[in-house]
Structure 1
Amino acid sequence: MSYIPRIASNFKREGPDYRFDDQTDFQEIKHTFGFRTITIGSWVTPYEQRIGANLIYDALADLAQILQVPPQVIGLRGTLNFAFGAGGQLGVQAHYDAAARTLALAKNAGAGALAHEWWHAFDHYICKKLFASTTPLSFASSLWIQCNVTYRHPLNLLLDQFFKQLFLSDNTDQPSQFFQQAKALDMQYDLLYFSRPQEMSARAFEACISHNPKILNEYLVSGVKNSKLQKQGGFPCLDNIITLSDIIFHYFSELGTALHHHCD
């Protein structure tokens, strides 16, 4: 039986101090970020809960800060469930279960995958806001490949622009360089994963988060810059990341502004 280390707390982070060194807990995370439910695995010790809660709170607060949205947006209007050390998949550090609308984070190995998996949750949630014809398991990025955006709201048009930049070459209907790179990775590893639209969009999103100039949080996102996957073409090139960041951060900023005005 191999030894599994307790959850580490020394992830590099440079960003605002939200807690002022106070200990938080998962109930506060649920309330602050608007999750529907939070489940803690029975094998998570009280010590691991305390460390994990602080790391997750700061990472989600950093995500909201980077996106310029109210913290409650992270819970996707109270529809997203969160699991820590429970409900994951064997050998997988983090996982989004669309059927259960649950973002599951492994207690010892989930660090760095939070932004990627949150995008999956958002991509799933936002699908019905863009398209008239969806299924309960549809993702917006995947459906975008198949049909045009139905609801032409200005916010939706920004997402439409994001997907176009992501999947297509400039001013053409030809696949983007990023798609070609992802397809080559699939051929190299003999699988269909890297070129799936929902995986391409999640990697693009985490690359945007990783390259934001204001906040660094290795628990939120890591394994992008100077990684083996980056060198293999698993992420968009830097110029493309800058363009994608401009679009997606504009989208969330506009969303945040709209929600603030609605609350006022």
Structure 2
Amino acid sequence: MSASNRLKRGFYRQGPDYRFDDQVDFSDIRDTFGFRTMVVGKWVTKEERFISANLIYDALADLAQILQVPPKTIGLRGKLNFAFGHGGQQHVQAHYNSRTRTLALAKNAGGGALAHEWFHAFDHHITKHIFPQHSPQHFASKLWLEHTIGQSHPLNLALNKFYQGVFLEPTGQHANQYVLDCIEFDKRHQQFYMSMPEELAARSFEACIACNEQIVNHFLVSGLNNSALIYPKRDSLKICNNALNDYFSQLGQLLFQDH
């Protein structure tokens, strides 16, 4: 199926109307969501550009709405770059490059992976705020397993609960079943991917976004039930979702006050 046909087939969405049927362009996405740069590949046709811009705009607006944060929060204080149909990896539908701080979507297969990759960007961005003594090149999820988050700020407490929900059982003493299942999967397949800390955290975030009942956007996140990937169990997901709601609602209140 061609990229145009993939985009034309549409992606199920249930949520607020942000554009009122207006056509947006990638410059609108950059300005609305506060990205540092916005790059569109030279092989993206004019038609694909129009269709994908609307899909991406609505998906990011839905993400901001679910997280209860100002739209520009999505661009991570102007540090995050965005690429569509440009700078991705072969056979990969979407990718976050931590070296260049770029979220890249493939034009023919990026739909449904946006929430997952955005969390990679957030997980990378937040490191300098919660682990300032460590290299900002690391993902916070990985550092969380090795170091303690400073507990002086309510936001840190909420984010700490999220990471605890990703990795540990409720007592906080042992790895939860989600982690154990992923470790076992990697052992069977002689790889280290499913149980990578940053992947465990991104899939947990993705699952939290997918379980929102008011806003559903299959360009933002989809396919979890039919995926070969492993996602958190219900109990872990509930803990993660509550912690995320707490963290981002607090963050949103602070950021809205600054506007």
Paired residue secondary structure (1:146): coil
Which 5+ residue runs of structure 1 have no aligned equivalent?
A: none
State which of 252, 257, 260 in structure 1 corresponds to 2:248.
252
Paired residue secondary structure (2:21): coil
Q: Counterparts of 2:258 and 2:31 in 1: how far apart (Å)?
A: 20
> Where has structure 1 moved over 3 Å in runs of 4 or more?
none
Q: Counterparts of 1:132 and 1:27 in 2: how far apart (Å)?
A: 33
Contact 1:66 1:212 survives alignment (8 Å): yes
Contact 1:13 1:217 survives alignment (8 Å): yes
| Corresponding residue for residue 2 of structure 2 | 4
Q: Counterparts of 1:78 and 1:178 in 2: how far apart (Å)?
A: 34
Paired residue secondary structure (1:246): helix
User: Which of 143-152 and 12-21 deviates more?
Assistant: 143-152
Q: Counterparts of 1:218 and 1:24 in 2: how far apart (Å)?
A: 19
Confirm or deny that 1:209 pairs with 2:205: no
| Corresponding residue for residue 148 of structure 1 | 148
Paired residue secondary structure (2:104): strand
Deviation at 1:151, TM superposition (A): 6.0
Deviation at 1:4, TM superposition (A): 3.4
TM-score normalised by structure 2 residue count: 0.96
| Corresponding residue for residue 200 of structure 2 | 200
Contact 1:132 1:151 survives alignment (8 Å): no
Contact 2:150 2:156 survives alignment (8 Å): no
User: Which of 182-191 and 102-111 deviates more?
Assistant: 182-191
Contact 1:33 1:72 survives alignment (8 Å): yes
Q: Which amino acid aligns with 1:217?
A: N
Confirm or deny that 1:170 pairs with 2:170: yes
Deviation at 1:41, TM superposition (A): 0.4
User: Which of 94-103 and 187-196 deviates more?
Assistant: 187-196
Q: Counterparts of 2:107 and 2:62 in 1: how far apart (Å)?
A: 19
Contact 2:18 2:58 survives alignment (8 Å): yes
Confirm or deny that 1:235 pairs with 2:231: yes
Deviation at 1:79, TM superposition (A): 0.3
Q: Counterparts of 1:18 and 1:228 in 2: how far apart (Å)?
A: 30
| Corresponding residue for residue 185 of structure 1 | 185
TM-score normalised by structure 1 residue count: 0.94
Paired residue secondary structure (1:22): coil
| Corresponding residue for residue 107 of structure 2 | 107
Which 5+ residue runs of structure 2 have no aligned equivalent?
A: none
Q: Which amino acid aligns with 1:227?
A: N
Q: 1:37 to 1:151 in 2, by over 3 A?
A: farther
Deviation at 1:244, TM superposition (A): 1.1
Deviation at 1:222, TM superposition (A): 0.7
| Corresponding residue for residue 31 of structure 1 | 31
User: Which of 88-97 and 126-135 deviates more?
Assistant: 126-135
Contact 1:112 1:219 survives alignment (8 Å): yes
Q: Counterparts of 2:89 and 2:213 in 1: how far apart (Å)?
A: 33
| Corresponding residue for residue 138 of structure 1 | 138
Paired residue secondary structure (1:222): coil
Q: Which amino acid aligns with 2:29?
A: I
Deviation at 1:243, TM superposition (A): 2.1
Q: Which amino acid aligns with 2:258?
A: H
- After superposition, give the CA deviation of every residue in 1:64-109 in whole Å (9 maximum; x if it has no partner): 0000000000000000000000010001000000000000000010
Deviation at 1:5, TM superposition (A): 3.9
Q: 1:31 to 1:227 in 2, by over 3 A?
A: same
